[in-house]
């Protein structure tokens, strides 16, 4: 698996009345993913407008989780309510509040990289996790790795001195052990075995990440395929092999893809494909 490139995580979320009250290091989310106005203050009884905004400015910590909390629920451990940058006399609804959890950047492996808003129950965003809905909008977040994976380190001297066989001063590769344990006639060395001896370094134990489950298992051919001292190889019975035509193969491995076609015809799958094509 290849090493993932480091991504810029979100460090803060907040409410703002508009671009005039949104801080410079925050980005105001004024429209949803599907093009609607992202004003959370719209609706019956709402007197003030407020929008969600996010920031990726380095602050020593990153957001690792997001939740909606109703007014009857207690704040989860490690979470806090997001900040508010509102106009005078403006307020955010307290029936359902948005809270986040932050940890130090040095200890975070996975964090929130992006947030998106959609109209309620209309669009499904691939690769995003649904957080919940509030005032007719659905909040989605995308998480990912924030630091590259550590590079493989070479095995230290103490590990190098360990051996699968007691009493050996230096570890030997399986191919070398196999060649030393079996008598070989100089003039009857097969091409297969000579190739293995030349490439005995394929199981290199110089790095801990190159050790496989086959280390220590000697290589040996099945007796009926091994070369005899006189150079004769026994013939293999091939009478039980049946030759099939193209029609026989197609009939035997025919697959109608009924399950896949049924899944593709679902409305949720079609809407997801339409959003990707758009």
Nearest to 49, CA basis, from 93, 10, 14: 93
The CA distance from 209 to 185, in Å, is: 36
Q: What is the model's pLDDT at position 153?
A: 60
Instruction: Decide if 123 contacts 18 (C-beta within 8 A).
Output: no
Q: What is the model's pLDDT at position 4?
A: 41
The CA distance from 147 to 149, in Å, is: 6
The CA distance from 55 to 216, in Å, is: 54
Q: What is the model's pLDDT at position 151?
A: 57
Written as six digits, the tokens of 102 are 């932050």
Q: What is the model's pLDDT at position 198?
A: 47
Q: What is the model's pLDDT at position 162?
A: 55
Q: What is the model's pLDDT at position 46?
A: 62
What is the phi/psi pair of residue 277, to 5°?
Answer: -70, -35
Q: What is the model's pLDDT at position 270?
A: 73
Summarised one tens digit per residue, pLDDT across range 155-186 is: 555 555 554 444 444 555 555 555 455 555 55
Show the low-confidence residues of the chain (pLDDT under 50): 1-6, 163-169, 179, 189, 196-203, 205
């Amino acid at each position: 698996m290849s090493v993932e490139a480091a991504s810029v995580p979100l460090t803060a979320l907040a409410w703002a009345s508009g671009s005039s009250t949104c801080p410079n290091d925050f980005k105001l989310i004024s429209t949803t993913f599907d093009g609607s106005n992202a004003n959370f203050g719209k609706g019956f009884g709402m007197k003030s407008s407020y929008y969600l905004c996010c920031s990726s400015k380095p602050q020593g910590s990153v957001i690792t989780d997001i939740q909606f909390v109703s007014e009857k629920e207690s704040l989860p451990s490690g979470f806090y309510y997001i900040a508010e940058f509102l106009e005078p006399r403006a307020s955010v609804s307290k029936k359902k509040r948005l809270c986040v959890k932050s940890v130090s950047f040095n200890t975070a492996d996975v964090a929130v990289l992006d947030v998106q808003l959609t109209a309620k129950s209309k669009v499904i965003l691939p690769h995003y996790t649904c957080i919940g809905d509030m005032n007719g909008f659905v909040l989605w977040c995308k998480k990912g790795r924030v630091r590259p994976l550590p590079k493989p380190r070479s095995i230290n001297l103490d590990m190098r001195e360990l051996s699968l066989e007691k009493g050996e001063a230096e570890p030997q590769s399986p191919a070398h052990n196999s060649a030393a344990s079996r008598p070989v006639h100089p003039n009857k060395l097969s091409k297969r075995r000579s190739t293995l001896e030349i490439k005995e370094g394929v199981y290199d134990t110089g790095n801990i990440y190159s050790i496989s489950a086959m280390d220590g298992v000697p290589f040996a051919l099945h007796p009926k395929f091994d070369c005899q001292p006189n150079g004769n190889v026994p013939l293999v019975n091939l009478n039980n092999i049946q030759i099939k035509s193209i029609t026989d193969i197609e009939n035997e491995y025919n697959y109608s893809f009924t399950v896949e076609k049924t899944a593709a015809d679902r409305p949720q799958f079609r809407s997801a494909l339409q959003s990707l094509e758009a």
